[in-house]
Amino acid sequence: MGVERAKKIMMDHFANTARRFGLSELYGYIYGVLFFEDEPLSLGEIAERTGYSLSHVSTALKLLENLGLVKRIKKPGDKRAYYTAIKNIREWRKEAYYKKIEEDVRQTRESLLRALKAIEDEDSEEAIKLRERIEFALQRNAITERIIHIFLKNEEEEVLRVLLKCLEERLNGTKT
């Protein structure tokens, strides 16, 4: 009875998390079903356990796979795809989340540089303002790039601990 209650609490948590991110609760329920399984499940098994249609589950699995929360697996001699949840959230954040942010930051830098190049020969007041905004955005982008690089190259807990200590010292005006 306690195990089932604990699973229900976590399934509701995953569903609420999906809702907070603007997704259907289905995404949370799928992740929850896979999270508690030791073996990968087929699309049909996931649909049966969640009570949603195959097409809804298939669409949701594609997004969850793209986010790095679910992994598709092929079994030898079986044409069906099976799915498993990424259960080590620390690894997920490092491999999926931070890498996606890193890619977005890289693309942002490239766009900013192209925009800056597009106005390099212009001296209008509007071009000067735009150039200042782009240069400011490039500075912020460089800082973000450095922070993401630190998270990717080091243990997240250690980075957060050091960051928190530095911020507390800075904001409190003390050194420990």
Helices and strands (H, E) in the chain, number of each type? 8, 3
| Contacts of the segment 136-145: beta carbons below 8 A, 24+ positions apart | 137/108, 137/112, 138/109, 138/112, 138/113, 141/105, 141/108, 141/109, 141/112, 142/109, 144/105, 145/102, 145/105, 145/106, 145/109
The confidence band for 1, taking pLDDT boundaries of 50, 70 and 90, is low
Q: Spell out the alpha helix ranges (H) of 51-97.
A: 54-66, 89-92
- Confidence (pLDDT) at 120: 93
Q: Give the residues across from 41 on adjacent strands.
A: 83
pLDDT, residue 175, reads 59
pLDDT higher than 60, residue 109 = yes
Is the pTM higher than 0.75? The answer reads: no
| pLDDT tens per residue across span 62-105 | 999 888 889 999 988 988 999 999 887 677 777 667 777 888 99
How far, in whole angstroms, is CA 20 from its chain's centroid? Answer: 14
Q: What's the rounded mean pLDDT across residues 112-130?
A: 95
Give the three-state DSSP class for 42. Answer: strand
Using a 10 angstrom Cβ sphere, with 0-12 exposed, 13-18 middle and 19 or more buried, the burial of residue 161 is exposed
In the predicted structure, residue 118 carries a pLDDT above the cut 90: yes
Reported as a single tens digit per residue, the pLDDT across 29-73 is: 999 999 999 999 999 999 999 999 999 999 999 999 888 889 999
Greater pLDDT, 157 or 117: 117
